[in-house]
Amino acid sequence: MPRIPCAFSCSQDFLELVDQRAESLGMTRSQYIVQVIRQDLLTGQRNLSIVAEQAAVYGGKITNSGKHKKNRGARTRGKRK
């Protein structure tokens, strides 16, 4: 089965931890990530703990993790009643 490239974003600190763990197991980053996901999906265990992430910082601006806010702060035209 052919492999399909994919991507995700994370902090530099987190990526360094991933790389350290992969190296300690004699694996590449990709191999390690695939194994962790495979273990979660195929073991049948439903005890995955989800850890909340902080908003990502790119270029000094904090992102909203993909959440779009339409017309935030937009003023309505016309007279108030």
Give pLDDT, residue 81: 47
Parse the chain into domains and list their residue ranges: 12-52
Q: What is the pLDDT of residue 26?
A: 97
CB 63 within 8 A of CB 56: yes
Q: What pLDDT does 16 receive? A: 95
pTM over 0.75: no
From first to last of the 81 residues of the chain, give the pLDDT tens digit: 898 999 999 999 999 999 999 999 999 999 999 999 998 888 877 777 777 766 666 666 665 555 544 544 555 455 554
Q: How far is the C-alpha of 11 from the C-alpha of 16, rounded, in Å?
A: 9
Ramachandran area for residue 64 (φ above 0: left; ψ -120 to 50: alpha; else beta): alpha
